[in-house]
Amino acid sequence: MKSRYHVTVRFSADGRIEVAGDEITVSIKSQPERGSANRELVKRLAGHFGVSEQNVRILSGLASRKKIVEVIVIA
């Protein structure tokens, strides 16, 4: 499953996930430095979808708030 995500960093309410139309907003506390925000995003999405972190890949937008992320969910 590929989806578009908007990431809000340095947010006080950590882990909030909102769906608005075809975009999903994820709020995280991490600073966007040295990949820490991307690592936290992967961790949050893996927990949300109940999959391993290895099943979540950022396909584009590593240095942007707008990302395309693939989550592999095996039913």
> Is residue 57 over pLDDT 90?
yes
- pLDDT at residue 46, as a whole number: 92
Both tokens assigned to 56: 């979540």
pTM of the model: 0.81
Both tokens assigned to 23: 């975009």
- pLDDT at residue 10, as a whole number: 64
Closest of 42, 40, 53, 35 to residue 11, by C-alpha: 40
pLDDT digits (tens, 9 = 90+) for 4-56: 776 666 666 666 777 877 778 888 888 888 988 899 989 988 998 899 999 99
What is 2-71's CATH topology?
Conserved Hypothetical Protein Mth637; Chain: A; (3.30.1200)
Domain limits of the chain? Answer: 2-71
Residue 21 has phi, psi (to 5 degrees) of 65, -125
